Protein backbone atom coordinates (compact mmCIF):
# COMPACT_ATOMS: atom_id res chain seq x y z
CA UNK A 1 0.00 0.00 0.00
CA UNK A 2 1.29 3.44 -0.90
CA UNK A 3 1.49 5.91 1.94
CA UNK A 4 1.22 8.67 -0.67
CA UNK A 5 -2.38 7.79 -1.57
CA UNK A 6 -4.71 9.71 0.75
CA UNK A 7 -7.70 7.67 1.87
CA UNK A 8 -10.82 8.91 0.08
CA UNK A 9 -14.48 8.43 1.00
CA UNK A 10 -17.24 9.65 -1.29
CA UNK A 11 -20.94 9.71 -0.47
CA UNK A 12 -23.40 9.40 -3.35
CA UNK A 13 -26.80 10.64 -2.20
CA UNK A 14 -28.37 9.64 -5.56
CA UNK A 15 -31.92 11.03 -6.04
CA UNK A 16 -32.57 11.44 -2.33
CA UNK A 17 -33.06 14.25 0.13
CA UNK A 18 -34.47 17.72 0.53
CA UNK A 19 -33.16 20.76 2.38
CA UNK A 20 -34.32 19.41 5.73
CA UNK A 21 -32.59 16.06 5.10
CA UNK A 22 -29.43 17.83 3.95
CA UNK A 23 -29.44 19.88 7.16
CA UNK A 24 -29.50 16.60 9.08
CA UNK A 25 -26.57 15.19 7.11
CA UNK A 26 -24.60 18.40 7.59
CA UNK A 27 -25.28 18.19 11.33
CA UNK A 28 -23.89 14.68 11.81
CA UNK A 29 -20.92 15.38 9.53
CA UNK A 30 -20.04 18.53 11.45
CA UNK A 31 -20.28 16.61 14.73
CA UNK A 32 -18.09 13.81 13.34
CA UNK A 33 -15.38 13.77 14.29
CA UNK A 34 -13.98 12.94 10.85
CA UNK A 35 -10.49 11.51 10.40
CA UNK A 36 -8.43 14.47 9.08
CA UNK A 37 -6.33 12.04 7.03
CA UNK A 38 -9.38 11.05 4.94
CA UNK A 39 -10.54 13.14 2.00
CA UNK A 40 -14.36 13.36 2.02
CA UNK A 41 -16.64 14.32 -0.88
CA UNK A 42 -20.44 14.09 -1.10
CA UNK A 43 -22.41 13.86 -4.35
CA UNK A 44 -25.75 15.63 -4.09
CA UNK A 45 -28.66 16.20 -6.51
CA UNK A 46 -27.86 19.04 -8.90
CA UNK A 47 -30.61 21.36 -7.58
CA UNK A 48 -28.95 21.27 -4.14
CA UNK A 49 -25.32 21.83 -5.19
CA UNK A 50 -25.18 25.44 -3.98
CA UNK A 51 -27.20 24.72 -0.82
CA UNK A 52 -24.99 21.78 0.16
CA UNK A 53 -21.79 23.68 -0.60
CA UNK A 54 -22.90 26.60 1.57
CA UNK A 55 -23.85 24.36 4.50
CA UNK A 56 -20.94 21.91 4.67
CA UNK A 57 -17.49 22.79 6.07
CA UNK A 58 -15.03 23.83 3.38
CA UNK A 59 -12.82 20.76 3.90
CA UNK A 60 -15.64 18.45 2.71
CA UNK A 61 -15.92 18.42 -1.07
CA UNK A 62 -19.23 18.54 -2.95
CA UNK A 63 -19.74 16.69 -6.23
CA UNK A 64 -22.36 16.76 -8.94
CA UNK A 65 -23.67 13.28 -9.75
CA UNK A 66 -23.42 13.86 -13.50
CA UNK A 67 -22.64 16.52 -16.10
CA UNK A 68 -22.55 16.85 -19.88
CA UNK A 69 -19.62 16.88 -22.29
CA UNK A 70 -19.82 20.51 -23.45
CA UNK A 71 -19.83 23.90 -21.72
CA UNK A 72 -23.29 25.12 -22.78
CA UNK A 73 -25.96 24.78 -25.43
CA UNK A 74 -29.29 23.24 -26.38
CA UNK A 75 -29.16 20.24 -24.02
CA UNK A 76 -32.35 20.38 -22.01
CA UNK A 77 -32.05 18.95 -18.52
CA UNK A 78 -28.25 18.73 -18.51
CA UNK A 79 -25.67 20.69 -16.53
CA UNK A 80 -22.11 21.54 -17.53
CA UNK A 81 -18.89 21.39 -15.51
CA UNK A 82 -18.82 25.21 -15.68
CA UNK A 83 -22.20 25.29 -13.91
CA UNK A 84 -20.96 22.86 -11.26
CA UNK A 85 -17.98 25.14 -10.63
CA UNK A 86 -20.22 28.21 -10.57
CA UNK A 87 -22.13 26.56 -7.70
CA UNK A 88 -18.84 26.42 -5.80
CA UNK A 89 -18.26 22.69 -6.29
CA UNK A 90 -15.08 20.98 -7.51
CA UNK A 91 -16.09 17.38 -8.19
CA UNK A 92 -18.31 15.27 -10.43
CA UNK A 93 -19.22 11.57 -10.40
CA UNK A 94 -19.40 10.18 -13.95
CA UNK A 95 -20.30 6.80 -15.42
CA UNK A 96 -22.04 5.45 -12.33
CA UNK A 97 -23.62 2.07 -13.01
CA UNK A 98 -27.07 3.68 -12.87
CA UNK A 99 -26.04 6.10 -15.62
CA UNK A 100 -24.69 3.17 -17.64
CA UNK A 101 -27.48 0.67 -17.03
CA UNK A 102 -30.61 2.73 -16.33
CA UNK A 103 -29.89 5.64 -18.68
CA UNK A 104 -27.88 3.58 -21.20
CA UNK A 105 -24.78 5.78 -21.31
CA UNK A 106 -22.08 4.08 -23.40
CA UNK A 107 -18.36 3.96 -22.57
CA UNK A 108 -17.50 6.53 -25.24
CA UNK A 109 -19.94 9.16 -23.97
CA UNK A 110 -18.73 8.68 -20.40
CA UNK A 111 -15.15 9.10 -21.58
CA UNK A 112 -16.01 12.32 -23.42
CA UNK A 113 -17.77 13.66 -20.33
CA UNK A 114 -14.74 12.83 -18.18
CA UNK A 115 -12.47 14.59 -20.67
CA UNK A 116 -14.52 17.78 -20.73
CA UNK A 117 -14.95 17.85 -16.95
CA UNK A 118 -11.17 17.65 -16.50
CA UNK A 119 -10.56 20.31 -19.14
CA UNK A 120 -13.06 22.55 -17.34
CA UNK A 121 -11.12 22.17 -14.10
CA UNK A 122 -13.24 19.70 -12.16
CA UNK A 123 -11.96 16.66 -10.29
CA UNK A 124 -13.65 13.47 -11.45
CA UNK A 125 -14.79 10.17 -9.94
CA UNK A 126 -15.30 7.84 -12.95
CA UNK A 127 -17.14 4.63 -12.04
CA UNK A 128 -16.54 1.19 -13.51
CA UNK A 129 -17.85 -2.26 -12.65
CA UNK A 130 -19.33 -5.51 -13.89
CA UNK A 131 -22.88 -6.87 -13.69
CA UNK A 132 -23.74 -10.18 -12.01
CA UNK A 133 -23.94 -12.22 -15.22
CA UNK A 134 -20.55 -10.83 -16.26
CA UNK A 135 -18.96 -11.86 -12.97
CA UNK A 136 -20.58 -15.30 -13.08
CA UNK A 137 -19.22 -15.87 -16.58
CA UNK A 138 -15.72 -14.83 -15.39
CA UNK A 139 -15.71 -11.66 -17.49
CA UNK A 140 -15.00 -9.17 -14.67
CA UNK A 141 -11.53 -8.23 -15.93
CA UNK A 142 -12.66 -8.06 -19.55
CA UNK A 143 -15.49 -5.66 -18.64
CA UNK A 144 -13.62 -3.33 -16.29
CA UNK A 145 -10.52 -3.20 -18.50
CA UNK A 146 -12.71 -2.25 -21.49
CA UNK A 147 -14.32 0.50 -19.42
CA UNK A 148 -10.87 1.75 -18.39
CA UNK A 149 -9.55 1.58 -21.95
CA UNK A 150 -12.38 3.86 -23.08
CA UNK A 151 -11.59 6.40 -20.37
CA UNK A 152 -7.83 6.70 -20.81
CA UNK A 153 -7.64 8.75 -24.07
CA UNK A 154 -9.66 11.56 -22.48
CA UNK A 155 -7.88 11.72 -19.13
CA UNK A 156 -5.54 14.70 -19.27
CA UNK A 157 -4.65 14.93 -15.58
CA UNK A 158 -4.60 11.75 -13.49
CA UNK A 159 -3.95 13.73 -10.30
CA UNK A 160 -7.60 14.89 -10.45
CA UNK A 161 -9.08 11.42 -11.02
CA UNK A 162 -10.30 8.92 -8.41
CA UNK A 163 -11.42 5.62 -9.97
CA UNK A 164 -14.45 4.00 -8.31
CA UNK A 165 -14.77 0.24 -8.80
CA UNK A 166 -18.38 -0.74 -8.08
CA UNK A 167 -19.50 -4.26 -8.93
CA UNK A 168 -23.07 -3.62 -10.09
CA UNK A 169 -24.36 -6.76 -8.38
CA UNK A 170 -23.27 -5.36 -5.01
CA UNK A 171 -24.83 -1.87 -5.27
CA UNK A 172 -27.80 -1.47 -2.95
CA UNK A 173 -28.34 -5.22 -2.81
CA UNK A 174 -26.79 -5.92 0.56
CA UNK A 175 -24.34 -8.21 -1.26
CA UNK A 176 -20.76 -7.07 -0.93
CA UNK A 177 -17.69 -8.31 -2.69
CA UNK A 178 -15.56 -9.90 0.01
CA UNK A 179 -12.47 -7.86 0.94
CA UNK A 180 -10.42 -10.43 -0.98
CA UNK A 181 -12.64 -10.21 -4.10
CA UNK A 182 -12.50 -6.43 -4.07
CA UNK A 183 -8.74 -6.36 -3.44
CA UNK A 184 -8.18 -8.79 -6.32
CA UNK A 185 -9.93 -6.49 -8.82
CA UNK A 186 -8.23 -3.37 -7.44
CA UNK A 187 -4.81 -4.99 -7.74
CA UNK A 188 -5.55 -6.05 -11.32
CA UNK A 189 -6.73 -2.53 -12.15
CA UNK A 190 -3.50 -1.10 -10.74
CA UNK A 191 -1.51 -3.57 -12.83
CA UNK A 192 -3.56 -2.56 -15.88
CA UNK A 193 -2.69 1.09 -15.23
CA UNK A 194 1.00 0.17 -14.99
CA UNK A 195 0.86 -1.55 -18.37
CA UNK A 196 -1.45 0.89 -20.18
CA UNK A 197 -0.75 4.31 -18.63
CA UNK A 198 2.36 4.40 -16.44
CA UNK A 199 3.83 2.95 -13.28
CA UNK A 200 3.69 6.41 -11.72
CA UNK A 201 -0.06 6.76 -12.34
CA UNK A 202 -0.66 3.20 -11.11
CA UNK A 203 1.12 4.02 -7.87
CA UNK A 204 -0.52 7.41 -7.25
CA UNK A 205 -4.08 6.97 -8.56
CA UNK A 206 -6.65 6.22 -5.90
CA UNK A 207 -8.98 3.29 -6.63
CA UNK A 208 -11.97 3.22 -4.30
CA UNK A 209 -14.57 0.51 -3.75
CA UNK A 210 -18.35 0.84 -3.86
CA UNK A 211 -21.11 -1.66 -3.28
CA UNK A 212 -23.03 -2.04 -0.01
CA UNK A 213 -20.20 -0.61 2.11
CA UNK A 214 -21.35 -0.50 5.75
CA UNK A 215 -19.99 0.13 9.25
CA UNK A 216 -19.70 -3.64 9.67
CA UNK A 217 -17.47 -4.30 6.64
CA UNK A 218 -15.63 -1.02 6.05
CA UNK A 219 -12.68 -1.68 8.38
CA UNK A 220 -11.85 -5.03 6.76
CA UNK A 221 -12.12 -3.52 3.27
CA UNK A 222 -9.95 -0.58 4.30
CA UNK A 223 -7.12 -2.92 5.34
CA UNK A 224 -6.68 -4.13 1.76
CA UNK A 225 -3.54 -2.73 0.16
CA UNK A 226 -5.07 -1.55 -3.10
CA UNK A 227 -8.38 -0.24 -1.73
CA UNK A 228 -7.90 3.50 -1.21
CA UNK A 229 -11.37 4.30 0.09
CA UNK A 230 -15.05 3.97 -0.72
CA UNK A 231 -17.93 5.35 -2.73
CA UNK A 232 -20.93 4.93 -0.45
CA UNK A 233 -24.60 5.07 -1.45
CA UNK A 234 -27.41 4.68 1.08
CA UNK A 235 -25.15 4.69 4.13
CA UNK A 236 -23.94 8.20 3.24
CA UNK A 237 -27.39 9.54 4.17
CA UNK A 238 -27.06 8.27 7.74
CA UNK A 239 -24.74 8.88 10.71
CA UNK A 240 -23.16 5.50 9.83
CA UNK A 241 -21.27 7.46 7.19
CA UNK A 242 -18.99 8.88 9.89
CA UNK A 243 -17.92 5.36 10.89
CA UNK A 244 -17.11 4.57 7.24
CA UNK A 245 -15.12 7.80 6.82
CA UNK A 246 -13.07 6.74 9.85
CA UNK A 247 -12.58 3.14 8.63
CA UNK A 248 -8.84 3.58 8.36
CA UNK A 249 -7.50 4.79 11.66
104-123 pLDDT, tens digit each: 999 999 999 999 999 999 99
- Catalytic site residue 96? yes
pLDDT digits (tens, 9 = 90+) for 162-199: 999 999 998 878 887 899 999 999 999 999 999 999 99
Cα torsion 212, 222, 9, 78: sign: negative
pLDDT digits (tens, 9 = 90+) for 38-74: 999 999 999 999 999 999 999 999 999 999 999 999 9
Q: What is the mean pLDDT of residues 201-217?
A: 96
Q: How far is residue 130 CA from its own chain's centroid? A: 15
Average pLDDT, the chain: 96
Confidence category of residue 241, pLDDT binned at 50, 70, 90:
very high
- Phi then psi for 78, rounded to 5 degrees? -100, 160
Q: What is the mean pLDDT of residues 22-39?
A: 98
Confidence category of residue 1, pLDDT binned at 50, 70, 90:
very low
Percentage of residues in the chain having pLDDT higher than 90 = 94
Q: What is the mean pLDDT of residues 66-84?
A: 98
- Of residues 96, 112, 116, 134, which has the active-site annotation? 96
Confidence category of residue 3, pLDDT binned at 50, 70, 90:
low
Q: Which CATH superfamily is domain 13-27+41-50+60-245 in?
A: Aldolase class I (3.20.20.70)
Which regions of 175-228 does DSSP assign to beta strands (E)?
A: 206-210
- Of residues 39, 134, 166, 186, which has the active-site annotation? 166
Q: How far is CA 38 from CA 35, 59, 201, in A?
A: 6, 10, 20
Confidence category of residue 4, pLDDT binned at 50, 70, 90:
confident
Task: Indicate whether 238 pLDDT > 90.
Answer: yes
What lies within 8 Å, CB to CB, of 181 at 6+ separation is: none
Amino acid sequence: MSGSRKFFVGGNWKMNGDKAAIDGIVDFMKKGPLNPNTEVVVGCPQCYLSYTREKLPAEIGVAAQNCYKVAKGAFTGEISPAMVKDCGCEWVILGHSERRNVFNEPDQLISEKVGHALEAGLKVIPCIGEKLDERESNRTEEVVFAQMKALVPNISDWSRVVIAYEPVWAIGTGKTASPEQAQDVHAKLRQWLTENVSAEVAESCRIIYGGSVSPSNCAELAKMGDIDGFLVGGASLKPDFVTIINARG
